[in-house]
Amino acid sequence: MTTDDEEIVLAFLEESRENLDQLDLGLIALEVNPADPALLAQVFRTIHTIKGTCGFLGFKSLEALSHAGENLLDALRRGELRFDASVTTSLLTLVDAIRRVLDHIEQAGTEGEVDHGAVISALDRHLASPVAVATFDLATTSQSVAMGTATAASETSVRVDVAILDKLMDLVGELVVTRNQFGESATIDDDGPLSLTYRQLSLVTRELHEGVVRARLQPVGSVTGKFHRIVRDLAASMGKQISLEIEGEEIAVDKAVNEVLRDPLLHLVRNAVDHGIEPPDERRAAGKPAQGMLTIRAFHDGGRVHLEIADDGRGIDSRRLVEHAIASGYVTAGDAAALGPDAAMDLMFRPGLSTKEEVTNISGRGVGLDVVRNALEQVGGSIDVTSEPGRGSVFRLNVPLTLAIMPVLIAEVGGERYAVPQVDVREIVHIAAAEIATAVRDVDGVLFYRLRERLLPLVELASQFNLESARHADGLIVIVVEAIGRRFGIVVDALGDTTDVVAKPLPRAIRTIRCFGGVTLLSDGQPALILDVAGLASRAGITTSCEDIEVRDIEWVAEAAPASLLLASADDGGRVAVDMSTVRRLEQISPESVERSGPIEVVQYRGGILPLLRVTDGLSSGTQSRKPSAVLHTVVCESSIGLVGLVVGRIYDVVPRPTTEVTVPPPSRRGAIASVVVDDRITEVLDVELLIADAGVWSTA
């Protein structure tokens, strides 16, 4: 063959293989929706195309194979035949036969000597005894069907060798480093021509980078698409019924990342089918539907791609894992007892701990989850698992979106610089020295900072890294970050610039340190470590339970507020209380002296007008009390609009404010901001300002 011919054949092989992948998906989809006319039409077209190209290139065997397939599909799409499992199997066998011939062509240049008579007659047999279906109207519209992710290559795209894209990426990386170095000298120029040029260069570099990154993007589906066929075949061979759902196949990731995900995902999917999901009778006995569910979900979050592989199978018993680990001498019984549930589950990722006694053809030998974890960590990714015995398991993987350039914030700790990925940074907070006493608290050994009514756990990087903090001023510099739903603050000595860096994976020797996600060279040539915010959170013990602590939930409120409450009863008999700090006087007002000023009740009081607020249960509008009483017990309070009188039922006592508050049920009374328990009674603490706002009382001055 001449080189031209070789190129044509190579292109043919590539295109045909893609078409065959499409066929796989289409056939499996048809198995579920046998009467879908659009699907049938598309599958027919695909095989028709293959047949045409084969004939054109003189591949007789392939032509015969695809011709047989085309005949069968023609009958199917004309409604002369019904699509069932045996038809699908025959067609999938055809697809595999075609693949083998393509492989042979690739290796030896010829189609090979295999006799495909069996495959062809299997297809023809279906035609011979057709199970006729009632004819239906074939829509000949050109609706496209979502059979998978790849659509036919449009004419506005080109095929590019991956090596070229890799080279482009490396070059852009070098350009960024060079630009950074240039930037160091350009900033001295300060708005002069040099600095102008630098800004221009910066802009162009950034756009070029973005362009190259986009060129390298590939949908995750190009990896996950193949799983439909694999799961179908695997499940069938084990006599299991499994449905596979994939969500988020259109999520685009860097091609290199896709390559990294391929094997781990395959391994997890096979594990789920092999070990995870039980055979139909076992499932029915457990009260589950006979068909098992396997879901793969891909999504973006915080600059990373996340994949969840969930099954509703038998789950993983962490106790069995621990027993196995002890039996294998991996961990002593004493150490094992100290393992928390997460750490116990983590044992699964250690080499040599497979809990399946038999080694089957399907799962292979010795290739364990440790390999999966290694592969992911090599590129700065991670994996963990949660499981419920009897209910199923969820494996969660994540990898960085690109393995290349990322914007970072430089932070200094202990005299060294570290890079914090910008994508994880939420805000920067400076805590003045004076504020530290009131705003920073130690709760059970964890430092918290009160940031706008929420508690932010703080991680001091210096102490995490066993370094001496080289802080200059007395205040604290906190970088508020968030990763995998965990928000916390990183305390550093000083802040540097925001800059773009070329991120490289961690060298082997330090790969296992969870706090770091990569390394990079700063613009002065010094190597620097890139923080892995999620890893840091894990190491520092930041759990999601910190997330929802609101300031009022802890002693904080008691310490900030005055120490006494005035106890009283409301009109309806319920218990209420008011902070003593706002109380000025206790009065007994005769009902006759109450006048109305518009919608508000007022009384003349000490030369002024005192608006009255009746404390009720909030259901009525509060302007009328039910029974006329002798006197109105009024608590005169200081407020933003001057003095106001809270009309209560009875005044009981002044008590120290309890240190804990009842949060469930939340206070329902109008004007109440919290509930406390005093003398075993639930007492709602009133806030004067709230009552005023509720009543719509304006300043009467």
Partner 1 sequence: MNERYFCTFSVDGLLLGIAIEHVEEVLGDQAITPVPLSDAAITGLINLRGRIVTAIDARQRFGLTSRDDTAAPTVVVVRAHGEAVGLFVDRVGDVVEVDDDCLVEVPVTVAAPIRALATGAYMLAGDLMLVLDADQTLAITS
Query: Of 36-44, 264-272, 307-315, 522-530, which segment contacts partner 1 by CB under 8 A?
Result: 522-530
Q: How many residues at the interface with partner 1, by CB under 8 A?
A: 25
- The CA dihedral of 276, 274, 300, 508, to the nearest 10 degrees, is 110
> What's the min distance (Å) between Cβ of 410 and partner 1?
13
Which of 519, 537, 302 lies closest to 425 in space, CA to CA?
A: 302
- The string of DSSP codes covering 649-660 is SEEEEEEEPPSS
Give CA angle at 176 (173, 180), nearest 5°: 145
Q: How many other C-beta atoms lie within 10 A of the C-beta of residue 577?
A: 25
Query: Of 33-41, 389-397, 506-514, 653-661, which segment contacts partner 1 by CB under 8 A?
Result: 506-514
Give the residue carrying structure tokens 């004419």: 155
508 is a contact residue toward partner 1 (CB under 8 A): yes
Residue closer to partner 1 (CB basis): 215 or 462: 462
Q: How many other C-beta atoms lie within 10 A of the C-beta of residue 314?
A: 22
Query: Of 137-145, 442-450, 514-522, 625-633, which segment contacts partner 1 by CB under 8 A?
Result: 514-522
- What is the phi/psi pair of residue 214, to 5°? -65, -35
Contact between 544 and 485 under an 8 Å Cβ cutoff? The reply is yes
> What's the min distance (Å) between Cβ of 413 and partner 1?
9
Instruction: Find the binder of partner 1 among 351, 527, 608, 666 (CB under 8 A).
Output: 527
> What's the min distance (Å) between Cβ of 174 and partner 1?
8
Instruction: Find the binder of partner 1 among 529, 647, 648, 678 (CB under 8 A).
Output: 529
Instruction: Find the binder of partner 1 among 144, 151, 526, 629 (CB under 8 A).
Output: 526
Residues ≥6 apart with Cβ < 8 Å to 220: 248, 249, 250, 251, 252, 253, 258, 261, 298, 305, 307
Here's the x/- map for partner 1, 486-505, by CB under 8 A: it reads as ------------------x-
> What's the min distance (Å) between Cβ of 205 and partner 1?
17
172 is a contact residue toward partner 1 (CB under 8 A): no
How far apart CA 48 and CA 74 sit, in angstroms, is 10
378 is a contact residue toward partner 1 (CB under 8 A): no
> What's the min distance (Å) between Cβ of 275 and partner 1?
28
How far apart CA 55 and CA 61 sit, in angstroms, is 9
Give the residue carrying structure tokens 């005044």: 651
- What is the phi/psi pair of residue 521, to 5°? -105, 130
Residue closer to partner 1 (CB basis): 154 or 466: 466
Instruction: Find the binder of partner 1 among 168, 521, 551, 673 (CB under 8 A).
Output: 521
> What's the min distance (Å) between Cβ of 530 and partner 1?
11
> What's the min distance (Å) between Cβ of 378 and partner 1?
11
Residue closer to partner 1 (CB basis): 468 or 653: 468
520 is a contact residue toward partner 1 (CB under 8 A): yes
Residue closer to partner 1 (CB basis): 263 or 416: 416
> What's the min distance (Å) between Cβ of 508 and partner 1?
6
> What's the min distance (Å) between Cβ of 368 and partner 1?
17
> What's the min distance (Å) between Cβ of 502 and partner 1?
10
Instruction: Find the binder of partner 1 among 516, 672, 678, 683 (CB under 8 A).
Output: 516
624 is a contact residue toward partner 1 (CB under 8 A): no
The CA distances from residue 364 to 152, 359, 383, in Å, are 35, 7, 21
Helix residue ranges, H only, 490-549: 533-540
515 is a contact residue toward partner 1 (CB under 8 A): yes
509 is a contact residue toward partner 1 (CB under 8 A): yes
How far apart CA 609 and CA 615 sit, in angstroms, is 19
Q: Which amino acid is at 487?
A: R
How far apart CA 84 and CA 100 sit, in angstroms, is 25
How far apart CA 520 and CA 528 sit, in angstroms, is 5
- What is the phi/psi pair of residue 333, to 5°? -60, -40
Contact between 79 and 138 under an 8 Å Cβ cutoff? The reply is yes
Here's the x/- map for partner 1, 460-479, by CB under 8 A: it reads as ----xxxx------------
> What's the min distance (Å) between Cβ of 418 and partner 1?
9
Residue closer to partner 1 (CB basis): 43 or 531: 531
Query: Of 421-429, 510-518, 562-570, 581-589, which segment contacts partner 1 by CB under 8 A?
Result: 510-518
Instruction: Find the binder of partner 1 among 35, 510, 563, 693 (CB under 8 A).
Output: 510
Residues ≥6 apart with Cβ < 8 Å to 326: 332, 333, 336
Residue closer to partner 1 (CB basis): 210 or 468: 468
Contact between 593 and 603 under an 8 Å Cβ cutoff? The reply is yes
- Interacting positions 174-203 with partner 1 (CB under 8 A): 174, 177
Instruction: Find the binder of partner 1 among 54, 336, 397, 519 (CB under 8 A).
Output: 519
Handedness of CA 46, 48, 52, 58 (dihedral sign): positive
Query: Of 95-103, 337-345, 358-366, 511-519, which segment contacts partner 1 by CB under 8 A?
Result: 511-519
> What's the min distance (Å) between Cβ of 461 and partner 1?
9
171 is a contact residue toward partner 1 (CB under 8 A): no
Residue closer to partner 1 (CB basis): 173 or 622: 173
- The string of DSSP codes covering 475-506 is SEEEEEEEETTEEEEEEESEEEEEEEEE-BPP
376 is a contact residue toward partner 1 (CB under 8 A): no
Query: Of 147-155, 284-292, 458-466, 621-629, which segment contacts partner 1 by CB under 8 A?
Result: 458-466
How far apart CA 389 and CA 162 sit, in angstroms, is 43
Query: Of 64-72, 202-210, 518-526, 601-609, which segment contacts partner 1 by CB under 8 A?
Result: 518-526
Which of 664, 668, 645, 635 lies closest to 565 in space, CA to CA?
A: 635
Biggest CA–CA distance in the chain, Å, is 114
Contact residues for partner 1, defined by CB under 8 A: 174, 177, 416, 464-467, 504, 507-513, 515-516, 519-521, 525-529
